[in-house]
A and B are shown apart, each in its own frame.
Chain A
């Protein structure tokens, strides 16, 4: 980064100052797609965008995320059915990249989980779904992988060690993969000790000792597709979101149902309210309004497209139950794309920006908290993930 940087705050990134000391602002949107990564950059107005990419062309980029402690430090999960897993790291905000460590070996003897046919199946590493850099150290980053496990690197991604307590939970041998594989897709770091993780299709888990031990936090979830709809584990959680100012409040998009917990996952209640459908994948929270939540309703688990062919983000300003469709600038006819679980993000500029990407290759941005939308790009490969860094 050519600008002199000055750290002002942790949440939302770094304030930038030009050489003349004038405050600058901007955003950097990190997009992972089926065929490469793209970096979309704009100033605080979020009207004119610079597009770079494809980085790692031809590879699936499941996730790209920047360090809250150093916005120039980015991590990317690069995968291929042919050549396996690569982790890329950038130290200059995505200008250049270098591969780092890619050995994800389960701790000890991996054991088995349950396969689709009910038989025991050895844990096998497939790919990294999600990378979560630590808030206070650019060299510490967590990785959620398929088959579900949580790994951590403390040296900038060079070496990875499993936190085996999660996979080693007594329920582990009963976990089964969802249709997309048995992935650990959500990692939420809350302070030095508390970590949330969510697994399809095992459910949500919480650690209060920095990942050493874990317990399921699924009480209140109800899933018709499993033998005991209220089972302790086995729920197909799609995504969990938390606002850092209210860490005991969690929002969840489950396979079906939008859920809320006010006690750090100890119990959940449904807040789907008046949504047209409560199936979906992403869920996110406004940067400055912890009761303002966003989802993208999808018709059903067999119709992975928006109801009526209308792409609508729904916003609740009441922490759920009451939802309003946000449609200005989004296609309201003949739209049959999906929005995947990691493909929505919010910036923390004063006017909170919302971003999401579609399986049709569009990345939409709203610079006014969802009131209006514009596509940043329309024709990327299918979007797997969207993250945003606030450079202000």
Chain B
């Protein structure tokens, strides 16, 4: 089970409270986690990464285990504590004005 923490606006959009728990088949990567997240919550498609290119939106960041994984490729395996569910995978709205 993968634990995902969404930013507040996306929790509201997806109508979820607290963490999202996902089952991910095969290797746990950023891409496979986001695929599973968007399959469960289709309204999140396009809000985290581009529909077609899959590129992360500029003001969205991915953190886990005190690391910034935002610039890791989508096929890169996530840290073992994320894959085991010990640590959450954080999708963060970057701090910026507005």
Contacts and interface: CB of A to CB of B under 8 A. Distances in A.
B48 A99 contact: no
Give chain A's interface residue range (CB within 8 Å of chain B).
Answer: 10 to 19
A185 to B, nearest CB: 22
Chain A interface helix/strand/loop/mixed? loop
A80 interface: yes
B93 A83 contact: yes
Interface of B: 7, 9-10, 13, 43, 45-48, 51-52, 57, 59-60, 93-94, 96, 98
Chain B interface helix/strand/loop/mixed? loop
26 contacts: A59-B9, A81-B96, A82-B59, A82-B60, A82-B93, A82-B94, A83-B7, A83-B10, A83-B13, A83-B47, A83-B48, A83-B93, A84-B46, A84-B47, A84-B57, A86-B13, A86-B46, A86-B47, A99-B13, A99-B43, A102-B46, A102-B47, A103-B45, A103-B46, A105-B51, A105-B52
Given A82-B60, A86-B43, 14 more contacts: A81-B59, A81-B96, A82-B9, A82-B57, A82-B94, A83-B7, A83-B13, A83-B47, A83-B93, A85-B46, A102-B46, A102-B47, A105-B51, A105-B52
A80 B59 CA distance: 10
A59 B9 CA distance: 8
A82 B13 CA distance: 13
A-B residue pairs, 9 tightest by C-beta: A83-B47, A99-B43, A82-B59, A82-B93, A103-B51, A102-B46, A84-B47, A84-B46, A81-B59
A26 interface: no
A29 to B, nearest CB: 24
Nearest to B92: A82
Contacts of B45: 102-103
Contacts of A82: 7, 9, 57, 59-60, 93-94, 96
